[in-house]
Structure 1
Amino acid sequence: MSKVMNSFLEAVSDIQDGATLIVGGFGLCGIPEKSIEALQDRGVKDLTVASNNCGVDDAGLGRLLVNKQIKKMIASYVGENKTFEKQFLNGELEVELSPQGTLAERIRAGGAGIPGFYTATGVGTPIAEGKETKEFNGKTYLLEEGIVGDFALVKAWKADTLGNLVYRKTAMNFNPLAAMAGKITIAEVEEIVEAGELTPEEIDTPGIYVQRVLLGTDYEKRIERLTVRKA
């Protein structure tokens, strides 16, 4: 059965206030920008969002911040977003910082049905406050919990009608992990082919993890911070 939908607004129509979302991408690379725009248009609020970072002020998840639609952000990096900084300092946004590798593993664990795991990362830092610790072979580790989202929003390069996904280069980033960890995963792509056209070897995310597929167009492909050498 085809999982292809024609409307982004329809695809996100059952995301309700207070939902937990896992969103793929890294900076502005590989972000599900059309799904985010649809959520902005719908105006759902009090969202908990787990993602590597929160985009910039006018792109990516920053669009939802501007509308004050995000209640809590679970992220590893927040340095490019002035709106994020302002809302956090004003007490309008709850923030849970997680080391990048730990966050990736928390999402992967959630998708694999693993409720928690131990890691040495963060021991002896504020990250460890309030968390259970345990010793293995004389070394202290923190207990970190897996993350499962009500929905996952991901961006891939190509999909077939059954939801099998192929990512392109660094746009892969957090997307395969996010796709596994959503109870309902919405994937936007730049090309859709018929079932059977993708070889098993090129499929990065099997369609069993994906419930909805949409074709996106006119992607801006912005650079988050342009760095050039002097002439």
Structure 2
Amino acid sequence: MLVAETFVGRLDDESVAERVERGDPLRIEVDETERRRSRFRTTAEDGTDLGVVVARELRDGDVLSTGDRLVVVSLEAVDAMVLDFGGVADPDRAAVTAALELGHAVGNRHWDLAVEGERAYLPLADTRDRMESTVDPHLPDGATVGYEAVPPTLFDERGVDGGHSHGQGDGDHSHGHGDGGHDHGHGDHSHDHGEDGHDHGDHGVRALDPKSGGDDAGGEES
């Protein structure tokens, strides 16, 4: 079994990208659990049995080496709920109030929450109906709920890789919020939002800087 334990660099480094292009690299897709492990065993796209030993969390575009072959890492996307506040009529007051209430509700559930511009992202940690029933009471009129596949690094403390992109929605519904009561369900529909009480809890909210990048660490190639 080959073992990749040397960190070469990242694909956004031109010299590293050239080495990958010239060679015959192995390519692996790593899930959310594996990327946080210091060592794991996986199978490359071509069926090669591969061990990975690293000193840091893997990130999309990392390039490792077995000594004889380069290994290109890609991260498996995660499904996320997307809360879009772009349609809120009074962003100054309503959005701030909603953010505080939502932070308390999400913190009570110990869910990750990443905020980027007018959108908030929560990785699916429960059924969609249950997550919607938790966040809906705290969404102001004009906010919408949808779903996307996103990079797992979106929820890292240090933010996202520069120039990251989000996956397309998976064809599921999105819905808005008004001043009345609301129902939950799946399919193409909309529902309104009314005032409700909220729970309180402590939870960190990750505000994302699109220009921030990941840290390179681990066994680097000299």
In which range does the TM-score fall when normalised by the shorter chain? under 0.3
The structure with more radius of gyration: 2
TM-score by length of 2: 0.25
